Amino acid sequence: MEFEDFAPKLSMLLYGVIAFVVIIGGLLLLLDVVPNYFARRREAALVAASVSTTDGPAPPPSRRLRKPGEGLLGLAFLIPALLLLLIGLVVPAIRTIILSLSNGDSTEFVGLRNYGWIFQENDIIRVLTNTLGWVVLVPLLATGVGLLYAVMVDRARFEAVAKSLIFLPMAISFVGAGIIWKFVYAYRGDGDQIGLLNWLWTTLGGEPQQFLNNAPWNTFLLIVVMVWIQAGFAMVILSAAIKAIPSDIVEAARLDGVTPWQMFWRVTLPSIRPSLIVVVVTITIATLKVFDIVRTMTNGNFDTNVVALEMYNQAFRYQENGQGSALAVFLFILVIPIVIFQIRNLRRQREV
């Protein structure tokens, strides 16, 4: 084959690499490098101010001497992980960015047309709105329910049994959970209801409802499934954080005569703040990528579609590789700031 046959593909590869570097570099610059730069300047100013108030110069910081070959040994341990990251993350990410700049069958370069399509189609706007609802409600509800569980079962008589039962949904796959809750919401016309929710509703005198067909409540009912799964995870992390609160702080607060409500808001909640952030960030990332629950229970019908499912539909059902890849890149961009925020938060915790 002639070079002219490879030229379009090479140019698309170059565009993909440039876009990948610009996106990742821009996000890192905005969310990590720039704040760290100003933090270092502020720290240097404080150090200079403290040195100027002392009688003598500050002693130079001690540095640990590296042993010969230590750097090569560290590199040898890093190479396998870097290769896996390259094969499993970097190369697919670049490939996806390239496809997002092409048409449906990847034969023509279309630039940013696929990204414009995301914000121009009413159906995709609805998908983005649904995803936003998931991202707002699931972390808040799951963390709140998990925190409530953690406080209620802390040092209870059957604490181990209660925690095991609450954590049990985490052992179920999203597909399995979707099937279970699909039976809970099941509808059978005017006959005997096999769905638990419809059975309770008709027992109280109501008419059977097609819960999964009625928007926007069907989206909230799907969110309930995700909260049911993630609340156990939140409970385990937050319960461990509550048990790690120093007993002298708790005893001092009790001697001061605080009420249980004041104990929670002024002692417990500030003490477990780092764990709360970890839980919210982790659940948020999992929620952004939600696919199985929606696919199993409604297949995205009745205004319940989300970004991950629409990405799958565009790429594999409708054979629109460009639009599916654009949604994948868009989802990737949404996740990156959350990950960087979590990294910076962990770094601050280590410094403290």
Question: Residue 228 and residue 165: Cα distance in Å, rounded?
Answer: 12
In sequence order, which ranges of the chain are alpha helices (DSSP H)?
3-28, 34-52, 70-85, 91-100, 113-118, 122-153, 159-167, 174-184, 196-203, 217-243, 247-255, 260-263, 269-271, 273-288, 292-297, 307-312, 321-351
| Confidence (pLDDT) at 274 | 86
CA of residue 343 relative to chain centroid, distance: 13
| Percent of the chain residues past pLDDT 90, beyond the cut | 24
54: phi then psi, degrees, rounded to nearest 5 = -95, 165
Question: Residue 10 and residue 205: Cα distance in Å, rounded?
Answer: 67
| Confidence (pLDDT) at 230 | 93
User: Is the pLDDT score of 229 beyond 70?
Assistant: yes
SS3 102: strand
| Confidence (pLDDT) at 112 | 87
Report long-range pairs for 178-186 (Cβ below 8 Å, ≥24 apart): 178/225, 178/292, 178/293, 178/295, 178/296, 178/297, 179/296, 181/221, 181/224, 181/225, 181/228, 181/297, 182/212, 182/296, 182/297, 185/211, 185/212, 185/221, 185/297
Predicted TM-score (pTM) of the model is 0.75
Q: Which of 308, 314, 163, 310 is nearest to 239 (CA)?
A: 163
Condensed to tens digits (0 to 9), the pLDDT of residues 288-340 reads 889 999 999 999 888 899 999 999 999 888 888 899 999 999 988 888 888 88
Q: Which amino acid is at 225?
A: V
Confidence class of residue 347 from pLDDT cuts 50, 70 and 90?
A: confident
Q: Which of 311, 316, 317, 319 is nearest to 335 (CA)?
A: 311
**CATH code at 117-351:** 1.10.3720.10
Question: Residue 229 and residue 259: Cα distance in Å, rounded?
Answer: 32
Condensed to tens digits (0 to 9), the pLDDT of residues 61-76 reads 555 556 666 677 777 7
Place of tokens 């209870």: 156
Place of tokens 């159906």: 123
**Residues 154/242, Cβ–Cβ less than 8 Å:** yes
Confidence class of residue 1 from pLDDT cuts 50, 70 and 90?
A: very low
Paired residues of 102 in beta bridges: 109
- The backbone region for 258, taken as left when phi is positive above 0, alpha when psi lies in -120 to 50, beta otherwise, is beta
Q: Which of 137-141, 201-205, 292-296, 325-329 has the lowest mean pLDDT?
A: 201-205
Work out the mean pLDDT of the chain and round it to a whole number: 82
**Residues 12/98, Cβ–Cβ less than 8 Å:** yes
Contacts of residue 332, defined as CB under 8 A and 6 or more positions apart, other chains included, come to 93, 96
Question: Residue 104 and residue 96: Cα distance in Å, rounded?
Answer: 13
Average pLDDT over residues 222-246: 91
| Confidence (pLDDT) at 337 | 84
Condensed to tens digits (0 to 9), the pLDDT of residues 47-56 reads 777 766 555 5
| Confidence (pLDDT) at 103 | 87
| Confidence (pLDDT) at 147 | 92
